[in-house]
Amino acid sequence: MIAFLTLVYVALLAILVKLKVLPNKPGTWLSTIVWIVLLFVVLFIPMQWGAPAGPARTMTYSVQIIPNVSGVVTEVPVEPNVPLKQGDVLFQLDPTVFQATTDAKRAQLSFETLRLQQYRQLASRDAGTRFQVEQTQAEVDLLRAELQAAEWNLDETTVRAPSDGYVTFLALRPGQRVTSAPFQPAMVFIDTTTKRVVTQINQIYLRHVKVGQPVEIAFKTLPGEIVTGTVDAIIEVASQGQAVIGGTIPTPAQVSAEPFYVRIAFDDPEALARLRPGAVGTAAIYTNSANATHVIRKVMLRMQAILNYLNPVL
């Protein structure tokens, strides 16, 4: 933008010199340096805190699917990147062992329940002891709890989608054995029920940013368009601000001023629906400070939106 305004100024000087309004002298052309300094001092430096900008990205939740029980996979009915509903079957484990355990617990419970009824009848006729009734009642209660756990394990052999979304990078196949170990996920599930757009604002420019201020974003996936919204929340912590629990004293590290995340709420929910997780762009927040510089930021952002047709990186 500075280069563009400087070229405009030089073109204006050339026209005025040609019309002999200004003399064709070195001082006339050296005024370009003064113009550049003026742009920096009056417009571009105040713009950094009056209308701060930063990279924006669309985020969603990536869920690691880890079964609650271990077993051999017998069926994988899903296809990668195909939309799923909450509760749809992701894969099925061999239920033979779990079914056998459940049947055994159910049979034991049925037997102990019958014995409990018999002991109660005997106790009521003074032919049995109260201790036998209480002991059998405890066995029944224990078997009911064990049966409940066995039925839960049996139900967990069918792994279902935790929410609406889809499976991606699917490598799981029937015959593979999966475990309930936390560091061995069976697949990755992308949750599509919640999407968030955040932007990174440098700490030095964050002091004027408030919730509710207007935001404009130029996304790479929407070239030529400007998406509007407002500041929804300012994430009040950066990674360097967290204290990680450990058994040693933290080692001194190089400290840098990390940017803070600012969450953005769109004015049009349909615009958010068009964005895929991972879509990036440039966001500008228009604060209540240095209002005169907002026009420059708006022009720069629209130039960026047009350049998105041609430039896949910047």
Q: What residue type is assigned to position 133 of the chain?
A: V
181-192 mean pLDDT: 88
206-234 mean pLDDT: 94
Residue-level pLDDT at 310: 84
Q: Residue 205: CB partners within 8 Å, gap ≥ 6?
A: 48, 49, 52
Residue-level pLDDT at 4: 67
Range of the domain at 76: 62-191
| 3-state DSSP of the chain | CHHHHHHHHHHHHHHHHHCCCCCCCHHHHHHHHHHHHHHHHHHHHHHHHHCCEEEEEEEEEEEEECCCCCEEEEECCCCCCCCECCCCEEEEECCHHHHHHHHHHHHHHHHHHHHHHHHHHHHHCCCCCHHHHHHHHHHHHHHHHHHHHHHHHHHCCEEECCCCEEEECCCCCCCCEECCCCCCCCEEEEEEEEEEEEEEECHHHHHHCCCCCEEEEEECCCCCCCEEEEEEEECCCCHHHCCCCCCCCCCCCCCCCCCEEEEEEECCHHHHHCCCCCCEEEEEECCCCCHHHHHHHHHHHHHHHHHCCCCCCC
Confidence class for position 71, pLDDT limits 50, 70, 90: very high
Q: Is residue 271 part of a domain?
A: yes
Are 56 and 197 within 8 A, CB to CB? yes
Among 237, 196, 231, 217, residue whose Cα is nearest residue 298: 217
Helical packing angle, 26-38 and 2-18, nearest 10°: 150
Residue 314 reports pLDDT greater than 70: no
Calculate ∠ Cα 121-125-130, nearest 5°.
70
CA dihedral sign of residues 7, 10, 16, 19: negative
Last residue of a domain, one of 169, 191, 213: 191
At 72-99, the pLDDT tens digits run 999 999 999 999 999 999 999 999 999 9
Give yes or no: residues 136 and 222 share one domain.
Answer: no
Q: Is residue 270 part of a domain?
A: yes
Q: Is residue 247 part of a domain?
A: no
Give yes or no: residues 166 and 203 share one domain.
Answer: no
Confidence class for position 246, pLDDT limits 50, 70, 90: confident
Give yes or no: residues 55 and 201 share one domain.
Answer: yes
CA distance 264 to 55: 12
Q: Is residue 248 part of a domain?
A: no
Confidence class for position 254, pLDDT limits 50, 70, 90: confident
Task: Count Cβ atoms below 10 Å from residue 147 Cβ, excluding itself.
Answer: 20
CA dihedral sign of residues 69, 75, 80, 86: negative
171-182 mean pLDDT: 91
100-111 mean pLDDT: 95
Q: What is the domain count for the chain?
A: 3
Q: Which residue has the tokens 């720069």?
A: 300
At 114-150, the pLDDT tens digits run 998 888 888 888 777 788 888 899 999 999 999 999 9
268-275 mean pLDDT: 88
Are 218 and 282 within 8 A, CB to CB? yes
Give yes or no: residues 72 and 187 share one domain.
Answer: yes
The predicted model scores a pTM of 0.73
Residue-level pLDDT at 41: 66
Kindly state the percentage of the chain with pLDDT values over 70.
94
Give yes or no: residues 217 and 235 share one domain.
Answer: yes
Give yes or no: residues 144 and 235 share one domain.
Answer: no
Residue-level pLDDT at 44: 77
Domain containing 101 — which CATH number? 2.40.50.100
Domain containing 304 — which CATH number? 2.40.30.170
At 193-216, the pLDDT tens digits run 888 999 999 999 998 999 999 999
Residue 250 reports pLDDT greater than 90: no
Q: Is residue 66 part of a domain?
A: yes
Report how far apart, in Å, the C-alpha atoms of 170 and of each of 27, 127, 166 are: 68, 65, 10
Are 90 and 187 within 8 A, CB to CB? yes
Give yes or no: residues 184 and 198 share one domain.
Answer: no
Give yes or no: residues 27 and 77 share one domain.
Answer: no
Q: Is residue 277 part of a domain?
A: yes
Give yes or no: residues 36 and 83 share one domain.
Answer: no
Give yes or no: residues 238 and 294 share one domain.
Answer: yes
Give yes or no: residues 88 and 115 share one domain.
Answer: yes
Give yes or no: residues 71 and 169 share one domain.
Answer: yes
Higher pLDDT, 305 or 45: 305
Q: Is residue 170 part of a domain?
A: yes
Residue-level pLDDT at 46: 80
